Amino acid sequence: MSSQPRVVIVGGGIGGLFAANALIAHGVSVAVYEQAPALGEVGAGVYVTPNAVRHLARVGLGDAVERWGARVGADSCYLRHDGSFIAAVQVTDASGWNANFGMHRADYVDFLAAHLPRGIVHTGHRAVAFEQDAHCARVRFANGAVVEADAVVGADGIHSEMRPHVVPPARPVFHGTVSYRGLVPCERLPGWPVDRWQMWAGPGRHFLVFPVRHGTMVNYVGFVPADQEMKESWSAPGDPEVLRREFEGWDPRIGAVLAQVDRTFRWALYDRDPMPTWANGRLALLGDAAHPMLPHLGQGANQAIEDGMALATILSRVDAQAVPAALRAYERLRRERVAEVQLGARRNGLRVDSADADLTRRDAELVAHAEFRKQLYSYDVVPVARAAAEALAA
């Protein structure tokens, strides 16, 4: 084999930073370019599930997940809007391993970045152009910098500058829903259980609470119908009073949380239809740049982690010349799996918002949904990616 590929990642969010960690763990040279002047995330929670935690542990971040996360346990449940019990929530994979954690997004970005060697991440670099030839790829940035690499990874989110170099522009799909998100310190909610994920379902909306930051805060998300289309994936300050009115008459436990909300953010919910291709020559997409999805399975960031591990596993086993073939193999490996999760998130959103007027049937589907989650959490991309890389070498 000649030299291993040099990789440039455009985007310093969760997906891009994990991919950098995975590549370094596999001995591959990588640099990350982020457009913001500093790494950071809006204050909100993210759900981390076993299919991602196994890869975080593989690159040496298992202890960080335990330290900064809040483990979600067996008392997690779905409830009707009046607080009556519907079903337990699946929190283990098929082997019985529970690695479900609530995580503060800022903590997640911080420990992913802190685990990288100094000099890997370059902030203040907004990508504006991409070009490639048979031998290398180049990314140009608004500040005048130009970088060359054997492989470029577009991990720059739903507004990706890299995506148009892979697929023609297409409109995102707005789903008529906005989410209000925020965090409440647990000292303002005495007695609130910090060992579980709880969702209140329907009619027409749903409300989710889970712990973050080793159980010192709770993350809430209220999903409500939107009266108008908002800018794609745009966050703006929301009105706590409007949020409280949306859930009037629901379980008093929701009212207890919302009474403590001083500040909230409002997100519009968009995704994209599964894309026919993720790669073009020496450029591949990862995470939301490739597959933005609705949050109704809690899998957006987790699928990006799977992407990063698959990519690192394959690229570490090829030389620079074989990069285009390796990126096509990565695309083939990930596209079907992620499309299933994207479409599953759409279906689950309709389910928990009680699109089916027959709540008995809806509740039965939520009970049955445990099997889907068990299989989702049990999936391990590494053996499949190794096999894909070996097929390239054959």
pLDDT along the chain (394 residues), means of 10: 85 97 97 92 88 98 97 96 96 96 96 97 97 96 98 95 92 88 96 96 93 96 82 72 96 98 91 92 97 94 98 96 97 95 92 81 91 95 96 84
Does 311 fall in a domain?
A: yes
Does 363 fall in a domain?
A: no
Q: Which of 268, 257, 220 is nearest to 43 (CA)?
A: 220
- pLDDT at site 231: 61
- pLDDT at site 44: 87
Domains in the chain: how many in total?
A: 1
Q: What is the CATH number of the domain that holds 333?
A: 3.50.50.60
Does 222 fall in a domain?
A: no
Return d(Cα 288, Cα 269) in angstroms, integer: 13
User: Which are the contacts of 126, defined by CB distance < 8 A and separation ≥ 6?
Assistant: 35, 141, 142, 143, 161
Return d(Cα 41, Cα 106) in angstroms, integer: 5
Does 212 fall in a domain?
A: no
As given in the structure block, the two tokens for residue 226 are 């939107």
Does 226 fall in a domain?
A: no
Does 23 fall in a domain?
A: yes
- Reduced to 3 states (helix: H, G, I; strand: E, B; else coil), residue 387 is helix
Does 232 fall in a domain?
A: no
Does 111 fall in a domain?
A: yes
As given in the structure block, the two tokens for residue 202 are 């329907």
Q: Which of 30, 26, 29, 32 is nearest to 58 (CA)?
A: 26
Contact 353, 223 (CB under 8 A): yes
- Reduced to 3 states (helix: H, G, I; strand: E, B; else coil), residue 43 is coil
- pLDDT at site 171: 81
State pTM to two decimals.
0.95
- Please write the tens of the pLDDT for every residue from 369-388: 999 999 999 999 999 999 99
> Which domain does 300 fall in, by range?
6-71+98-171+274-355+379-393
144's torsion region: left (phi>0), alpha (psi -120 to 50) or beta?
left
